[in-house]
Amino acid sequence: MFSSDEFALLIEDLSLLPAISPTTRRLFEKMDDPEISLSAISSFIEEDPGLASRLLKVANSPFYPYSGTVGSVREALIRLGLSSSRGIILTTSLFDRIRGEPGVLDLWAHSLAVSMTSRKIGVAIRCPFVEEVALAGLLHDIGKIPYYMYAPEQMRKASRDLDIQTPDCRWEKELFGLDHMEVGARLVSTWRFPSIIRQPIRWHEDPAMAPAMERTAVLIVSLADQVVQGFGMGHMGNLVGQEGLFRLVEELQMTEDELIGLMKDFLFDREMIRQRSGSVL
């Protein structure tokens, strides 16, 4: 349907962010400016009530493990961190545009679930970049969004007709020339997210290929994706089976008890994620 060159051009277009509002685009330029103060960013966000309320909703949602309520944009930015705030604004803006398409709210719930689970794994193994893996989890399937934007008919067919899906995402390559990991990695690198966010997006379905530098982050997001999918909140993904799951756990040096704890936690949160995910979009 698309050749990889044609689809790559569309992705380049999307990376210029025409899909999101001019305010969001200007906000990202400001966030890229190393000289700008937090107060200046907060004031800019406050000028757009939609943007401000979206950030506050997420900061106060059960998807972020903080106690107490934040009442101002400034507090929300401090609580979430600038990089996560940027990721949340970007993802919610993109998802919001395609929310009417079948399967999209499931993909959103899946992304939130993978983000929460990635954070829990990060905490369990005491990794020093917990917020980064939580953000990578939120963004890990962002490469699927352009499919819904540019080829909604094909995606409707794909979600109805499981036959065209192959476990290794070959169907995405056949339809679009690029699979969702390649698309996602291209997007986040032009949006200037760092390698620790980009690599889990690029390799989460194929962690054996992950570069050594960001390997732990890739393994965390992969494991989170597997746990979430294994308990019924997947989105056209690939299950690696018990052996693959244990390989991830072993490489992360987690114990079996930690894995069981993680699974129990997810089962406990699953209904809440299903019910509440739509309200923060």
Q: Decide whether 31 or 183 has the Cβ nearer to Fe ion.
A: 183
Distance CA 272, CA 266 (A): 10
251: tokens are 């490489």
Output the smallest distance, CB 110 to Fe ion, in A.
Answer: 6
Does residue 87 touch Fe ion according to CB under 5 A?
A: no
Output the smallest distance, CB 257 to Fe ion, in A.
Answer: 25
Q: Decide whether 132 or 141 has the Cβ nearer to Fe ion.
A: 141
> In this chain, which stretch among 26-34, 91-99, 133-141, 145-153 interacts with Fe ion, using CB under 5 A?
133-141
Output the smallest distance, CB 35 to Fe ion, in A.
Answer: 37
Q: Decide whether 52 or 164 has the Cβ nearer to Fe ion.
A: 164
Does residue 143 touch Fe ion according to CB under 5 A?
A: no
Q: Decide whether 85 or 229 has the Cβ nearer to Fe ion.
A: 229
Output the smallest distance, CB 106 to Fe ion, in A.
Answer: 11
Q: Cα torsion for 189, 89, 100, 237, to the nearest 10°?
A: 50
Q: Decide whether 90 or 201 has the Cβ nearer to Fe ion.
A: 201
Which residues have C-beta within 8 Å of that of residue 159, sequence separation ≥ 6?
A: 102, 103, 236
Distance CA 222, CA 89 (A): 23
Output the smallest distance, CB 229 to Fe ion, in A.
Answer: 7
Handedness of CA 187, 189, 191, 196 (dihedral sign): positive
Site for Fe ion in 187-246 (CB under 5 A): 225, 237
Distance CA 163, CA 143 (A): 21
Q: Decide whether 141 or 214 has the Cβ nearer to Fe ion.
A: 141
The residue within the footprint of Fe ion, chosen from 48, 132, 141, 179 (CB under 5 A), is 141
259: tokens are 């894995």
Q: Could you tell me if 186 and 15 are in contact, meaning their C-beta atoms sit under 8 angstroms apart?
A: yes
Does residue 269 touch Fe ion according to CB under 5 A?
A: no
Output the smallest distance, CB 201 to Fe ion, in A.
Answer: 8
Burial profile 96-113: b = 16 or more Cβ within 10 angstroms, e = fewer: eebeebebbbbbbbbbbb
Q: Could you tell me if 147 and 173 are in contact, meaning their C-beta atoms sit under 8 angstroms apart?
A: no
Helices (H) and strands (E) in the chain, counts: 16, 0
> In this chain, which stretch among 33-41, 58-66, 139-147, 155-163 interacts with Fe ion, using CB under 5 A?
139-147
**With CB under 5 A, what is the number of residues at the site for Fe ion?**
3
Output the smallest distance, CB 250 to Fe ion, in A.
Answer: 21
Residue with tokens 């949006």: 191
34 C-beta neighbours (distance < 10 Å), count:
5
Among 141, 136, 142, 95, which residue's Cα sits nearest to residue 116?
136
Q: Decide whether 60 or 91 has the Cβ nearer to Fe ion.
A: 91
Q: Could you tell me if 136 and 196 are in contact, meaning their C-beta atoms sit under 8 angstroms apart?
A: yes
Output the smallest distance, CB 203 to Fe ion, in A.
Answer: 10
DSSP 239: -
Which residues of the chain form contacts with Fe ion (CB under 5 A)? 141, 225, 237
